[in-house]
Structures are given as C-alpha cells and as structure tokens.
A and B are shown apart, each in its own frame.
Chain A
Amino acid sequence: MSRIKQRFADLKAEGRKALVPYITAGDPDPALTVDMMHALAQAGADIIELGVPFSDPMADGPVIQQACERALAKGTTLRRVLDMVAEFRRNDAQTPVVLMGYLNPIECLGWAAFGEQAATAGVDGLLAVDLSSEEAAELTPVVRDAGLDSIFLVAPTTSQARVARICEHASGFVYYVSVKGVTGSATLDVDALADRLAWLREHTPLPLGVGFGIGTPEAAAAVSRVADAVVVGSVLVKEIARIGEDRQALCQALAAVLGDMRRAMDAVEA
C-alpha cells in the first residue's frame, strides 16, 4: 500500500481529516527546507506538498511566484529537491511527500529518470499543474510504474465529461481547486464546495483534497467538514517571506500557523 493510501486509511480509522501544508522547496534557502518539513510534520501535517520551483509558474499567485524566485536565486534544482526529500526520509519514514510543480523541469530530467530518482528519494506522488488529462496518457504510466501516485486537479470549471477521464488517471487523492483563480486568491464558498465534492465523489473512490484560497483556521475547519484533506500554501509561504533565513523562527512560525489549523480541524471532528 502506498504511503498516501496508508495515511488516508489511518486517518479514516481515527475519524480525522488530512492537513496538507505546501512550501516551495529551497525557499528561502535549500539548506532550510528539510528542517521546515520536519517542523510541519511535527505540527500535524499528514502529507507534505513540496513545491518544485519553476521560472514561469503560470497557475500561481504573487506569493508563490516570489517563493519560486527566491528558491531559484539560491540555486534550487529538481535534483536538489529530490536530495531534500531523501534527507527528510532519514528521519521520517511515514509522512507522505508529494511534489507539486510544472512539467518542464521534469521533461528536462526525463520522465523515466524522474520516476526512478523520485521513488528512490522517497517521493510518494506528483502533481504536475500543467499536465492536463488530455496529455497524461503517455506520462502518468511512467510515474505510476515507478510507484508514485499521480495527483490531478479538478476545477470549478471541470465538466462532467472531463472529470471521468481525470479520475481515470488519478491515484492517491484528487485535488479540488476551490476557487477560479491562482493560488492564494479569493476566499471560498463552503456550501458550493460541498455540492461540487458530492458530485466529484460520484466519479471516484479516492480521497478528496481541497486547496487554493484556504488561509485561516476557520476556513480549514469549514473545509474539513466536507473534504478529506485540506491543502494550505500561500499563508505558510507568506510567513516564510516575512521571516527570511532564520531557521528557528521559520520552524516555529510554520508550526504555529499549522498547529492552529490542526486544532481547529480536530475540534470540528471531536
């Protein structure tokens, strides 16, 4: 059983929902990322989404764009991100790690090489933002053969016809984009979200994660009533931008923000 599947099974048994923090690897410095990942895991992260920085992150808002710029300025590459995961795995064999990013750095490394190296490093899944299900037929089998889950986005605009094909390619969980917009944009409407998730559950038995626009403990708690996983990113990345390269302050701040969300979510289910 994949680490992601195992994690969702455990959570279900405990009656809890998954909290999935996102940070951009290498922001503010590649030497700080692994400690921040451990801090997130200790503060209640069930899965860690690690952003692979890209020069042209067209689906991201300014907060994550700037994180990418900071990480790239410090020499972060896809290979170094895989090294970070391998280092994280030395002290954490349980917390699943999903890489989130854009296709070109992966294409550049080569799909087969990426699958093999990512699996060896201990990566559990890949979410390639600009890989549409139309183009996925040749690429996702390579990733899956390496033992990685393929996480796909479903959007407010996704049609009935498309959702079936997306779910065909998806494994691990399905990521529902809660707003029309880039990461870190407008706030979401939980009632509308509940309807869409109910519709999505008709198409897949996989757990449903929700992200984009969840920035407060209240929002995380509200989403956790209807979703299986809550993804938070920009709010954490803003903290990183505010603090800069202070290892201890970064780990404390991330733990504080995530801890508040964890407690708010667990209070819902208690």
Chain B
Amino acid sequence: MADTQDNIAARWRGMPDARGHFGPYGGSFVAETLMAPLEALSQAYAQYREDPAFMAELDRDMQDYVGRPSPIYHAERWSRKLGGAQIWLKREDLNHTGAHKINNTIGQGLLAARMGKQRIIAETGAGQHGVASATVAARLGLKCVVYMGSEDMRRQAPNVYRMRLLGAEVVPVESGSKTLKDALNEALRDWVTNVDDTFYIIGTVAGPRPYPQMVRDFQSVIGREARAQMLERCGRLPDSVVACVGGGSNAIGIFHPFLDDETVTLCGVEAGGDGVDTGRHAAPLSAGRAGVLHGNRTYIMQDEHGQIGLTHSVSAGLDYPGVGPEHAWLKDIGRAEYVSVTDSQALAAFHELTRVEGIMPALESAHALAYAAELARRGASDDIILVNLSGRGDKDMASVAEAEGRSL
C-alpha cells in the first residue's frame, strides 16, 4: 500500500511533464499562430517562478492587496445543526474582489507586466475572474478587455458594471451558447489577432500549456495556507477537503498541497444542474468523456459526434463543458473523487449558510457546501471537513431571486 502511494505521489509531483501533460490529459492543442506566444509564456513563467524578486513581489501583493492569508473558520453552529462532522471553511470569499480568482490574476498580471505586455484580455463566466482581471489591470495601468457571454452578462449584471467601473471593456459574446465556453473561444480569437501586445489571463486550470500548471501554482496558496492553519487550529489534517469544480481552479488550489496526505479525501463537486440523468448539467467528470477542447485534452461534455454539449447550471461560474486536465488525471488515478449536486441542492445550501452562519456564499461555492453538508450528516462528531468557500454570494442575489420566481 505504502509503496503504491509513494509511486503515485512521485508521479504527481512530476506533473505536468515538459509538454504540459497530466498523464494522457493536458497538452497544447491550439492553432499554430498561438504556439509561439504560449512558448514565450512558458519560458517567462519558468524564469520568474524561480526569481526571488518576482516571488517577493507576489507574496507582498497577496498580503497587502489581496488580504492574505485568508482565515479558516469553524462553522460551529451549522455543524451542530447538521449533527455530524465539523465543517471548517477556507474563507476565500474574504479576499479583495470577493473570490479566489484574484490569487491567479495577481500572479498573471505581474507576469504580463514583466513581459512588457500593454493589454490584457480575459474570459469570464460569473464575472468574478473578469472583475479580478479588471482590478489587476487598473492597478498595473494596463488596458483590459473582458469577453463574456451575453447570457452571462444578463445573469451577472452587477459584475458587468463593476468591470466597467474598473475601466475594462466588456465585450458581449453572441456565438454558440453565449456562455463561458464561447467567451473562451472569443478570447482565443482576440489573442490570435493581437498576439504581439496582448497577454491572455485564463481564469482556470484549463487551456493549453502552461496555463493548467501556472494557474494551479498561483492558486495553491489556498491549500498551503489551509493545511498549515488546520494543523495549527485542530492539531491535525482534515478528513476531507471539498471544493466546487467548474474549470477547477479553486479545487486544484486547495487540493494540490494535500495530494501527498493520503489520509485526506479530496472531493470535487460538479454542477449537477437539473440532475446528471436529465442531461441538463455541467458535470463533465461525472458524465462526460475524454476529448479535446480549448487547447487541452480532458473530460468534456459532448454528443456522440464530438460536438461540445450545451451545459446548464444555476451558477454561471460552473457552466462550462470542460474541466482542468489535472482533475481528469486525479480522477483516473483515484486520488480525488468527483460528485455532483443539483441546482436546488446548491440553492438550499446557499440559504442555509446565509441564515445559520451569516455568510452568503457564491452559488459556485454553495455546490461544495451542499455536498459537505451531506458528508457531515454521515460523519462522526470528531471528523473534520474543510470546504473551500471560494467566493461571496452578493453577485448571485439576482440569480437566486430569479431561480425562486422573485424579482429584486
């Protein structure tokens, strides 16, 4: 057993390989025009991650600008109500701009500045990554263009206005399903056209090499902090770590520093929409197949002819048919498990945490909370479940009202 675990651990420490592969997943599947800027980005990232001045600047920004470290919080009242395990929350909702997304945009923004790029572009679903990108652009004095599906702009109007206040241009994407995947296509088209002066800040651990690794590294601060905080506060590691998975950046961020801790169960929660068996969901790891989308090989939702499937989730940030390649690999080797919860379960958890703990979670994070609640009910009172509370829920008030047939 130990031997097998050691072998697996040795394998994931080496991931991705030099070509950006996580086992059979990942890689670089883009049109040739983008291969040169991707190679330049890979080289710049490899250089600056070893550069003490760059890393010191990143650490300083994480502390003074983002507000790190984010605390862990024992949701005692909720745990008591559930009557089982103890739920602890990693409070990424308390970060500047209200979600984990800023951890990554700070890192990529500093890299863009070091590489002399004047213009950044980003895709966004719920708007949190767009806001985090616009924020970094404002601070660094860079021009910022955010691509957002027109359907998502409608669902997330306050975030659209926020990005515009920050000086970003928000471009509505009308193609395809008018959601996150189409925004990603459009951002790639912009990049291929403006490749000389533009830096593309991808918001999740998907896309071509080096994005899955780079975004993971910037987000791993979540898990590094949480692991140390759990040891300090509880004297031991949690039994489970639970996070929602759309593209998977907050989940990889909290999972990765726990990969070697074989006693810790890692659990990713996908958007089950109306239920995975209805076909109306956004759960590629639960119900998809391997394929190639947006520059990497991974699990994707697709029809029997290889066309990308339409997704559905109450949460715009999880409404994506692909998932980061490292999650695909962690699923295959069995190091992490992936489940799904439905829209209505997530909405119930949204209300529950708001009313019982006075913390309004993002609908994305509410998926992780819903599954954690289920785990907690089944657990013993000294079990510990750590949930990544990846973002705050103010942005979702209109969506929640709409889902429940009210208007604000």
Interface set of A (CB-CB < 8 Å, partner B)? 54-62, 65, 69, 72, 77-79, 102-109, 129-132, 134-135, 152-159, 162, 166, 177, 180-182, 185-186
Contact = CB atoms under 8 A, between A and B. Distances in A.
Contact of B32 (A79, A102, A104, A132): A132
Contact of B28 (A59, A135, A156, A159): A135
Interface string B329-344: 0000000000000000
A166 B32 contact: yes
Contacts of B31: 58-59, 129-130, 153, 155, 177
B192 A107 contact: no
A62 B294 CA distance: 18
Interface residues of B, number: 40
Interface string B164-181: 000000000001100001
Interface string B23-49: 000011111111111010000000000
B188 interface: yes
A181 B32 CA distance: 11
Nearest to B310: A55
Interface string B357-368: 000000000000
B295 interface: yes
Contact of B293 (A56, A61, A132, A180): A56
A58 B189 CA distance: 6
B116 interface: no
Contacts of A158: 32, 35-36
Interface string B278-304: 000000000001111111000010101
15 contacts: A55-B307, A56-B185, A60-B189, A72-B307, A106-B306, A107-B291, A107-B292, A108-B306, A130-B31, A135-B27, A157-B34, A162-B39, A180-B194, A180-B196, A182-B192
A177 B32 contact: yes
B292 A103 contact: yes
A62 B289 CA distance: 28
Interface string B1-42: 000000000000000000100000001111111111101000
Contacts of A182: 189, 192-193
B307 A157 contact: no
B11 to A, nearest CB: 20
A77 B185 contact: no
Contacts, number: 127
B32 A155 contact: yes
A108 B304 CA distance: 7
> Which 10 A-B pairs have CB atoms at the shortest separation, nearest pair first?
A108-B306, A105-B306, A157-B36, A155-B33, A59-B31, A153-B32, A181-B193, A77-B305, A103-B292, A55-B307
The residue among A61, A104, A153 with the most chain B CB atoms within 10 A of its own CB is A104
A122 B37 CA distance: 37
A135 B33 contact: no
Contacts of A77: 305
Contacts of B33: 59, 153, 155-157, 177, 180-181
B305 A105 contact: yes
B397 interface: no
Contacts of A104: 291-293, 300, 302, 306-308
Nearest to A105: B306
B192 A162 contact: no
